């Protein structure tokens, strides 16, 4: 059995991603440049996958995340986050090079080198205090730089919201730019991949309360928040959010209880958004996207109700 087949046989998540990505290619002709267009021609399939993922999360992933958070001290969880984010410096630096950005690639490489040595395998982030800021990059962003600006939305089994471009880019990043395919011990690799999934889910435990309390279609909220969040990440500058992005609600309204008064809703500049590179901060950014999406849904619902009356 060759190594390629062995890798995908023992990684059903990657296999499912590849299959769904290939099936979704028939929707590529509907690519659009509108940043927040959901572009969801496969909604029937996506909703079925979303329902499956929801049950997987309810009975397996979320309980594992809660248990992990309960029994693992915060300092240990931070070390685990640092470890996995340090591994992410590899695809980050490579994709910066592919995008002809040697400066950020150089910083990302030095972060990897310093944290892997002085930071004891990446458990400690000693590069940031030295002035080497953590950023994030992936092949999906690389593809967007060469014109693949948008693609049909898909829901990936086990992994959740994505699109054709980012789904296929995940395959490229995983197979060529990460350490995982080069690990000889398959069992250890799969345990680490499972731990990575659990710790990411742990960082999102607080964010789900925002969505569950909204009372809207969970599928729509998740989709629109992801599209908005991913657009912001792709329009970043050097790993930072685009400070010129506009939304239909202000930051002050985000801090309210989401009971948005449409008469005072204004287009606001988003300022001081967190760096999305750290997965725990990335969860906060996703939560902000959820709030904006929910508020937009509420505003739309209020306007529709007013027109009908």
So where are the chain's domains? 3-205, 210-308
Rounded alpha-carbon distances, angstroms, from residue 165 to 21, 46, 226, 247: 8, 16, 14, 24
148 against 177, higher pLDDT = 177
Identify the residue with better confidence: 273 or 56. 56
Cβ partners under 8 Å of residue 210, min gap 6: 287, 290, 291, 294
CA gap 130, 166 in Å, rounded: 32
Predicted confidence (pLDDT) at residue 29 exceeds the cutoff of 50: no
DSSP 152: -
In tens, the pLDDT along 102-123 reads 999 999 999 999 999 999 999 9
Q: Identify the band that residue 226 occupies on the pLDDT scale cut at 50, 70 and 90.
A: confident
Residue 197 has pLDDT above 50, yes or no: yes
Output 217 or 258, whichever has higher pLDDT. Answer: 217
Read off the pLDDT band of 228 (50, 70, 90).
confident
Q: What is the mean pLDDT of residues 55-81?
A: 95
Checking if the pLDDT of 32 tops 50, the result is: no
The average confidence (pLDDT) of the chain is: 73
When mean pLDDT is compared over 34-43, 131-140, 224-233, 297-306, the highest value belongs to 131-140
pLDDT at 206: 77
Among 49-53, 137-141, 207-211, 214-218, the range of highest mean pLDDT: 49-53
Q: How far is CA 82 from the centre of its chain?
A: 17
Question: pLDDT higher for 305 or 151?
Answer: 151
- Please report the pLDDT score of residue 222 as a whole number: 86
Spatial CB neighbours of 248, under 8 Å, sequence gap ≥ 6 = 265, 267, 292, 295, 296, 299
pLDDT (0 to 100) of residue 242:
38
Give the pLDDT band (50/70/90) at residue 237.
very low
pLDDT attached to residue 236: 63
Range 234-242 average pLDDT: 53
Q: What pLDDT score does 18 carry?
A: 38
For residue 289, what pLDDT is reported?
Answer: 55
Calculate mean pLDDT across residues 177-190: 92
Q: Could you give the angle at which helices 186-203 and 279-308 cross, rounded to 10 degrees? A: 50
**pLDDT at position 202 over 80:** yes
pLDDT in the model for residue 205? 84
pTM beyond cutoff 0.75: no
pLDDT tens per residue across span 254-271: 333 333 333 333 223 333
Express as a percent the part of the chain with pLDDT over 90.
46
- DSSP string across 7-72: HHHS-HHHHHHHHHHHHHGGGGGG----TT----TTHHHHHHHHHHHHHHIIIIIHHHHHHHHHHS
Cα–Cα distance between 92 and 199 in angstroms, integer? 20
């Amino acid at each position: 059995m060759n190594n390629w087949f062995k890798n995908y046989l023992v990684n059903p998540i990657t296999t499912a991603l590849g299959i769904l990505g290939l099936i979704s290619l028939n929707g590529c002709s509907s690519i659009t440049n509108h940043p927040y267009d959901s572009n969801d021609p496969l909604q029937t399939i996506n909703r079925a996958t979303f329902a499956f993922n929801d049950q997987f999360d309810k009975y397996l992933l979320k309980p594992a995340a809660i248990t992990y958070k309960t029994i693992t001290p915060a300092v240990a969880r931070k070390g685990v986050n640092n470890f996995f984010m340090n591994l992410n410096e590899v695809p980050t630096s490579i994709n910066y090079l592919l995008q002809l950005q040697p400066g950020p690639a150089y910083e990302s490489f030095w972060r990897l080198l310093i944290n892997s040595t002085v930071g004891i395998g990446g458990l400690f982030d000693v590069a940031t205090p030295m002035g080497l800021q953590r950023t994030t990059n992936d092949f999906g962003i690389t593809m967007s730089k060469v014109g693949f600006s948008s693609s049909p939305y898909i829901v990936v089994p086990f992994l959740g919201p994505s699109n054709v471009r980012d789904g296929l880019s995940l395959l490229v990043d995983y197979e060529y730019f990460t350490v995982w395919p080069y690990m000889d011990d398959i069992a250890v690799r799969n345990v680490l991949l499972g731990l990575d999934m659990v710790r990411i889910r742990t960082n999102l435990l607080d964010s789900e309360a925002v969505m569950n309390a909204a009372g809207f279609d969970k599928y729509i909220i998740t989709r629109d928040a992801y599209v908005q969040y991913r657009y912001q990440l792709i329009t970043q500058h050097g790993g930072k959010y685009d400070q010129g992005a506009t939304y239909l609600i202000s930051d002050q309204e985000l801090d309210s209880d989401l009971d948005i008064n449409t008469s005072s809703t204004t287009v606001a500049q988003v300022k001081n958004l967190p760096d999305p590179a750290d997965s725990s901060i990335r969860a906060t950014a996703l939560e902000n996207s959820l709030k904006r999406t929910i508020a937009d849904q509420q505003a739309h619902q209020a306007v529709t109700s007013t027109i009908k009356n």
